[in-house]
Structure formats: structure tokens, C-alpha cells
Amino acid sequence: MEDSLRKALSEKQAAVDAQGGAVRELKASGAPKDAIDAAVQELNALKLEKASIEKQLQAALTNGNDNALSRDAFRQALVNTLERRLFYIPSFKIYRGVAGLYDYGPPGCAVKSNVLAFWRQHFVLEENMLEVDCPCVTPEIVLKASGHVDKFTDLMVKDEKTGTCYRADHLLKDFCKEKLEKDLTISGEKAAELKHILAVLDDLSAEELGGKIKEYGITAPDTKNPLSAPYPFNLMFQTSIGPSGLSPGYMRPETAQGIFVNFKDLYYYNGNKLPFAAAQIGQAFRNEISPRQGLLRVREFTLAEIEHFVDPDDKSHPKFSEVANLEFLMFPRGEQVSGQSAKRTVLGEAVSKGIVNNETLGYFIGRVYLFLTGLGIDKERLRFRQHLANEMAHYAADCWDAEIECSYGWIECVGIADRSAYDLRAHTDKSGVPLVAHEKFAEPREVEKLIIAPVKKELGLAFKGNQKMVVEALEAMSEKEAMEMKATLESTGEVGFHVCTLGKDVTITKKMLSISKEKKKEHQRVFTPSVIEPSFGIGRIIYCLYEHSFYTRPSKAGDEQLNVFRFPPLVAPIKCTVFPLVQNQQYEEVAKSIAKSLTAAGISYKIDITGTSIGKRYARTDELGVPLAITVDSTSSVTIRERDSKDQIRVSVEEVASVVKEVTDGQSTWADVLWRYPTHSSASVDE
């Protein structure tokens, strides 16, 4: 509809321009008044028709904008509440803060701690993983091997006068979106061009990105000054280890490398058996060019990562049947390319049809779904999107992102990737230490071994300084690729070969290598394991949880809107509050006695003995997401109020801690306890 309206508007504008020209000509030639009046009348009619089309187009565009405005208002209300109640605040606020750095306050720390405790229980304990804790400071050689030193970059532009830096793709993205949403005059062709740019933004090279910025006249947002050409900026924080400055290092951009370099010891610790998984929770650092979107794009953040090592020839999973029947929104690359939307899919079917590459990857997708929905993420606003071919690293077998919808759109919160054997091979090559696994045979086996023997002299003459990268690429060929190359070399004498590390094709001749197969007897198989990596951005998950849990409801008087977080008890920062109904010595003694029993049961609580009305105290704790409130209104029994329904039950003082523990530990639901105890209603509660 938008395209047809833009086309109609463009045609009508051309008609208005032509008629305007005709009126000017009539006036210049001294034409009769009747002829001029008729032409003017026709011009006005055309302008009215144009105005009508503009109105329709504006309505089509603002339909999305109205949603955007309501999303912005919702987000602002949420962020105001989060900062006012100290869930999180900008770091170093008294010094005007630093973009991309945030402090978690008491409730934020408690939520984060609860999320990580559930992550440990759901993954580390359930799957019997090996948990490690590695340093944040990493020597340069480790990140050189992993590719981060050379390739962990974003394209940046600078304001040529002030030196302020911006992410080049963000500027182009903002320009295209603003044009599409607010400029009624652009043609249908131009709108299609801008939409195409948004679709391929991640694929644009520095030259293409710079060309578009120049073509569209994009300038620095704050000063309107001209911008430099885009150039790569490495996102790692650099440092030096020790006082000499001779040992360069970086603050780690991910926790995974610490696990990979320890593979040999972890494999031995696990009894030299595969599969096994190692896990790590820790801080990671990325020197974002222009961080925005609050907790979603920051410079220091918590990652929880799993590296599941598996035999590349057997990626089945013994527990896959436990998740095979789960059904949720999946967005395979085929649907993305054809412009369709995510559809509810049964996980087992996705694996059996080959949409998901293997059972182990599918198993972790299912476990991630259960983890996120267990935290309180809305399953209707959670989808698993498969990486497009252009997003995937050349070595990856398959990658899926768990994306959660919030006011900023669909946000990647968990990446689940089959990274093949790339990481262990890269560290084996750089360190010289073989990071391999062994499978011992009961009887010796005769096997055919592929022998790829590069002739380094010939390769050196042809490729000079690039010889090492060409040799590595040739030696990394699969058997299928090698035998196809052998056949081509024998028939034509040369073959084109793509070297990923060079980013180009080279010509390989028959003199440069020999490819053959030899039969050998082997007592064991030595191989580099593949790794399946689920990587969780904890801050992003928590922010989306805040959005999915936040709502407002009217006060009892109806004169104000009260904020509520509907956190599940599992993640709520405080499990219950204790309120003496009135300031009374006896009630306060009962409250202290209950507090003591809650502490003994390991339940977090807060006592509020202020003289404010009970309704206001309820509202204060609802705003922190506290699921249960205990009100002491007698010396023998108390009421327990549930946050979302506001239902109350009456329980004896002796039983109150056990009832709260039962609900907050998830042994029983509120509905379970509601029918076991007498309900309580009070007309005096001012909510």
C-alpha cells in the first residue's frame, strides 16, 4: 500500500508541476482571463487530489509511528521507574556519567543474582557441566589466534572538525528509517532503495558504506559537519601486562577463549571422554563506538557462556527427546529471505527436516527456550532466528539467535552456534599444543588417510608473504573438497581456490601440491572436537525481562496509575515484605519473629514499619516486583497478599514462613495455597 501511494503521489506531483507550468505560460502570453481561470481551477483540483494522497500516505506511515510513540512512552515510564527504584543507574553519575557504563543497585543486583543462580541450576547442574573462572585480562597472542585482534571491528566515521566518533552503519540506518517514516516526497523507487539498504546494511563494505553516506549527504548528527570516510575500529580495550609494556594484552571481549585454551586439562579432568561441556560466567568488555539503548549496548557486561565439546561425526544428543516436542516461534533463513514471518514450529520436526543442523544444537535451543520462559520472558515475544548465509562465519555449521521483542524491536539475547572445530584448531596452530580428543578402537582398523602435501617452494614463489595463509587453507580442506580439487588439477592443470583469511580467490596449479590417499592401520582415532556454543547476554535478558514484567494499574481511588513488576518468585529481588498493620509494639514483635523465621528459611524479605497506609506500602513493594506481602494484623495469625491478583489468605504465625517458602521456591503455585487457607478481605485497604 505504501509503495502504491508513493507512486500515485509522485505522478500527481508531476501533474501539479506540469499544470503550474501551463498556468505560467498562459499568463506570460496574455491569454484570455477565462482560459487562465480554468487552468488555475484545474491546478487547484490537482493540488487537492495531491493533498488527499499525502494524507493517506501520512496515515499509513504514522500508523507505525503511533506504535513507536506508545513504545517510547512505555519505555520512558519503565526506565524512570528502574532508575528511581535503583534497579540500575548510569555509572559515575555525579561526574555526568560515561556512556555505556551502568551500576546495578540493590534490587537490580538481586534480580541479576537470581537470574544467574537459575542459569547455574538449569544448565551447569542439570547437564553436569564443568564450571571455570578465567581472567578478564588476556594476552594478545590468545586473541590473535582467535581472530579478534584482526577482525573484531566496527566501521567508524569521525566529525572532521570536532573529532566526535559515530558508528557508520548506525548513521546510515537512522537516515534511511527517518526518510521512510517522515519524507512523503520520496518516490516508490527511492523508498525501495532505502529498504534494500536496511536489509543489506551488515554486508556493506567500508567503501560502499562511505559511498552511501556521501551520496545521501549524511553529516554529523550534532554539528552537521562533514564526516570522514569509514574505517575499522577494533572494539577491544587494549592494555599492557606488567610494567615494561612489552607484553600487550586486552580486556576479554568474550569469556569463551579461556575455556578453549584450557580444553586439554578439562578433557583430562573429564576422564578423556566426550561429549562434555564447560561453562563460565564473567565480565566481558567491548569499547562500543557510540553506545545507546541503555542496558542493551554497553561497554562492560556479564556473559554466561557454554562450550559443549562433541565428536564431529556424532552430534546426536541422548536427552534430545526431552525437548523434541517443544513448539515455539522459529524463523529459519528460508522464511527470512522470502519475506515471511516466524512460525510456530515443533523442535523435533525442525531437526528431522534439517532446518536445525543437528540434535545437540537442537537440544540447546530447546533448553534455552525453557530457561528464558522460566525467567518470565513472554513466549509470544520470543523467537529463534537462524543466521543468514552472509551472517555466518565461514567455519560455522549452523547458528541461531534467541531474539526477544521489546520496545527497541527484536533484540538478540542468546546466540547458539555450532562453531565446528575452528577455535580448537586455531589455538592448536598458534600454540603448537594439540587440542584433540581420542577414540580408542577395540580392534585395529585399516583406514584410508587423506594426505595433502603442499609444495612450499612453489607456493612461496607464487604467493610470497601470503604463502602461510594459502598453505593453512589448503591443509584445512575437507576430503570432498580435496578430491574435487585433485580431479580438476588432473584434468585442467589448475583450479580456483578461495582463501578465507585473504578474502579472495587464488589460482592453484598442479606443481603446488599433491593430494593422495594412503591405507594405514590405526589403534585409535585422533580428532579435533566440534563445539556447540550457547552464549547469553545477561544484561540484555534482564532488560527484556523488565519490559515483559512491567505494567501499570489504577489505584483504588482511580486518581493515579501504579507501577507493578510481575516477576516470577524465582527472579523477584525480594520474596516477601512484612508489614505491621499499625504502629503497635505487639505487632512489631510478631513482625520481628516472622522475620527471624524467614531468615532461617533462607527467604529474602523487607520489613516496613513506617506509619504510612497499608495501601501505599503495598504499592511501594509492587513497584519492586515483590510477589507476597505479609500483614501483621493480630498476634496469632497474619494475612498473605499476592501481588498480581491482590488476593489475600489468612495463615497462622507459625505457618507463614513455610507457606511463603513453598510458593517462592516453586513447590506450589498461589492457586494451590489459595484453596487450602481461608481468604481474607478488608475494606480498609487503600489501594
Residue 107 lies in a domain: no
Residue 57 lies in a domain: yes
- Final residue of a domain: which of 234, 262, 288? 234
Going by C-alpha positions, the residue among 475, 119, 546 that lies closest to residue 303 is: 119
Residue 493 lies in a domain: yes
Residue 81 lies in a domain: no
Give the count of alpha carbons within 13 A of 598, CB side only.
23
Residues 196 and 207 both lie in one domain: yes
Max CA distance (Å), the chain: 109
Tell me the H-state helices in 221-358.
Answer: 256-261, 263-269, 333-337, 347-352
Residues 432 and 337 both lie in one domain: yes
What's the pLDDT at 2? 63
What's the pLDDT at 284? 97
Domain range for 510 is: 444-525
What's the pLDDT at 687? 46
pLDDT in tens, 49-88: 888 887 777 776 665 555 655 888 899 999 999 999 999 9
* Set of cell numbers at residue 600: 532461617
Residues 177 and 199 both lie in one domain: yes
Structurally, how many domains does the chain consist of? Answer: 5
Cell 555509572 appears where?
91
Query: Whole-angstrom Cα distance, residue 118 to residue 105?
Result: 20
Q: How confident is the model at residue 480 (pLDDT cuts 50, 70, 90)?
A: confident
Residues 368 and 410 both lie in one domain: yes
> Which amino acid type is present at position 67?
N
Q: How confident is the model at residue 684 (pLDDT cuts 50, 70, 90)?
A: very low
Mean per-residue pLDDT of the chain: 90
Residues 475 and 428 both lie in one domain: no
- Over pLDDT 70: what percentage of the chain? 97
Query: Whole-angstrom Cα distance, residue 483 to residue 518?
Result: 13
Q: CATH number, domain at 465?
A: 3.30.720.200
Residues 194 and 255 both lie in one domain: no
Residue 370 lies in a domain: yes
What's the pLDDT at 15? 87
Question: Which of 200-204, 317-321, 622-626 is predicted with the least confidence, judged by mean pLDDT?
Answer: 200-204
E strand intervals along 54-180: 88-90, 102-104, 130-131, 137-139, 153-158, 165-167
Average pLDDT for 466-482: 87
Average pLDDT for 464-491: 88
What's the pLDDT at 447? 81
What's the pLDDT at 5? 74
Residues 126 and 271 both lie in one domain: yes
500, pLDDT greater than 60: yes
pLDDT in tens, 655-678: 999 999 999 998 999 999 998 998
Q: Burial level of 665, CB count in 10 A (0-12/13-18/19+)?
A: middle
Whether residue 647 contacts residue 641, with contact meaning beta carbons closer than 8 Å, is answered with: yes
pLDDT in tens, 170-191: 999 989 988 887 777 787 788 8
Whether residue 578 contacts residue 561, with contact meaning beta carbons closer than 8 Å, is answered with: no
Q: CATH number, domain at 634?
A: 3.40.50.800
Q: CATH number, domain at 337?
A: 3.30.930.10
- Final residue of a domain: which of 188, 211, 234? 234
293, pLDDT greater than 90: no
Residues 175 and 203 both lie in one domain: yes
Q: How confident is the model at residue 686 (pLDDT cuts 50, 70, 90)?
A: very low
Q: CATH number, domain at 205?
A: 3.30.40.230
Query: Whole-angstrom Cα distance, residue 82 to residue 567?
Result: 14
Average pLDDT for 37-50: 86
- The single-letter DSSP state of residue 124 is I
Q: What is the 3-state secondary structure (H, E, C) of 578-640?
A: EEECCCCHHHHHHHHHHHHHHHHCCCCEEECCCCCCHHHHHHHHHCCCCCEEEEECCCCEEEE
pLDDT in tens, 93-127: 999 999 999 999 999 999 999 999 999 999 999 99
Query: Whole-angstrom Cα distance, residue 68 to residue 423?
Result: 41
Residue 564 lies in a domain: no
Residues 428 and 465 both lie in one domain: no
* Set of cell numbers at residue 428: 592448536
- Final residue of a domain: which of 211, 234, 257? 234
Residues 255 and 350 both lie in one domain: yes
Residue 321 lies in a domain: yes
Residue 568 lies in a domain: no
What's the pLDDT at 67? 60
Going by C-alpha positions, the residue among 364, 425, 367, 362 that lies closest to residue 395 is: 425
Residues 276 and 418 both lie in one domain: yes
Residues 633 and 607 both lie in one domain: yes
